[in-house]
Amino acid sequence: MTEFMNFIFNVFRNVIRIFPFSFSNLPLKNTLNIFIRCNTGNTLAVDLDPKCDIKDVKNIIAPKIGASPEELKIIFAGKELEDSIVIEDCDLGQQSILHAVRLKSRPDFHSLKTQHETIIDEVLTDDEELPALINNKKDKTKAQFYVYCNTCCDLKTGKLRVRCSNCKSGAITLDSDPKSWEDVLKPRKISGHCEQDDCVDGVFRWAEFYFKCAEHASLGENDFSVPLKQIKNNCRTIPCLACTEIRDTVFVFSCEDAHVTCVECFRTFVVLRLRERQFVLHDDLGYTLSCPAGCPDSYIDESHHFRLLSKEQYEMYQRFATEEAVLKFGGVLCPQPGCGEGIIIDSDCNKIICENGCGYVFCRNCLRGYHIGECDSFDNPVSSDVQHITDATRASQARWDEASNIAIRVSTKPCPKCRTATERSGGCMHMICTRCSFHWCWICQTEWSRECMGTHWFG
């Protein structure tokens, strides 16, 4: 029996020698698949335990690039990560990119290491109170940015990232942290030193910030998301202006009082104003809205916030914005049903051809089929070459297609500004055009005035 056991042991030992393996090489559970990009141009894919620290990372990758761990520094989001930092504290997602840089001799002014707990993790704000609140260690919570992700097609939490504005590499260390949204969104605000070999070593470079979605695996350094800076964590427990509920995520208007609505009420507010065509075409900010409380200087300055609408609603927003821009610049919209093509024309041109749309030829003044003479003459009966005599009035009333046109002319009046047919179903004589928001008088068919209000407001 002893000889048999010795035989089995010898066979197992020989198998181990032929097929060596280490239990340490077995796949880890709950691993992060991370790309290590070296400044020499090589990229390594490694699986890291979230519990390991940066020193362990250096020990893993140093032999693969022919360097010692002491020669390496790891850069992520504009910071050199210290050896004691744990991977799970670095806000890394699956397939995130770390930059490994082999140390080189450098001027004394750049030999100092900036001490950071981790990557940029403070809310960007112009408020002076909030950073002090967040810097309180007892109350400190992880800050979040919000973005619109084109991959997820929805509002998501975001991650702030940085790269060299010259070579677009993420291997850049910042000279200072951004303190406000202006530092992040405007170019040439924060400087740094790029460690990429393609950039001259030690030369002053500008940092370029961008955002990524935090809720799906990274698609590389070109995976960008649009920041929604007016959507924030409700760290001050402010109730919604509309529903009075206290929600975790809120929209903060840029008015002096910084009114707050929850995201759901913001969507409802935008949809209602959109359907009523109550948006404003601002010269600098585009087709936008102001605070629902009517505060001055409170326009939404980033149109990507309207991506929170559904796909159909956002397409309506884009269409209305285009139409308003055409009308503002002296153009017209093709009146044919189902067309609505925007046409920019000369100020003295009355005959309009919808060349890029349906091909309809119409009159600029009355928006009906093009005709010679005054627009009023269009309603006069046109002589015919037929030999029998008919009553012109009855003939016009007997036309199947013309019946609806007569009803429109009788029950509606055109807006004096944009000529949109408007129906009055009751109430006062003060009309507000749903297309161009022009205030006009139903009786005078001119701009609404105090005289109209005093003489025939109610008829």
Active site residues: 428
- Nearest Cα to Cα of residue 109 among 206, 203, 207: 203
In 276-366, which ranges are continuous DSSP H helix?
311-328
Q: Say if CB 159 and CB 224 are below 8 A apart.
A: no
DSSP three-state, residue 361: strand
- Nearest Cα to Cα of residue 174 among 77, 314, 262: 77
- Nearest Cα to Cα of residue 171 among 184, 159, 162, 158: 162
Polymer length in residues for the chain: 459
- What span, in angstroms and rounded, lies between the C-alpha atoms of 167 and 169? 5
- What span, in angstroms and rounded, lies between the C-alpha atoms of 199 and 39? 10
**Which is it for strands 332-333 and 286-288: parallel, antiparallel or unpaired?**
unpaired
Kindly report the backbone phi and psi dihedral angles of residue 249, in degrees, each rounded to the nearest multiple of 5, phi listed first.
Answer: -120, 130
- What span, in angstroms and rounded, lies between the C-alpha atoms of 269 and 164? 40
- Cα distances (Å, whole numbers) of residue 238 to 91, 234, 245, 378: 28, 7, 8, 60
- What span, in angstroms and rounded, lies between the C-alpha atoms of 190 and 130? 21
Q: Say if CB 332 and CB 295 are below 8 A apart.
A: no
- What span, in angstroms and rounded, lies between the C-alpha atoms of 131 and 181? 13
SS (H, E, C) 138-194: CCCCCCCEEEEECCCCEEEEEEEEEEECCCCCCCEEECCCCCCHHHHHCCCCCEEEE
β strands within 247-314, DSSP E: 249-252, 260-262, 280-282, 286-288
Residue 277, sorted as left (phi over 0), alpha (psi -120 to 50) or beta, turns out to be left
- What span, in angstroms and rounded, lies between the C-alpha atoms of 264 and 54? 41
DSSP three-state, residue 72: strand
Neighbours of 415 (CB within 10 A): 20
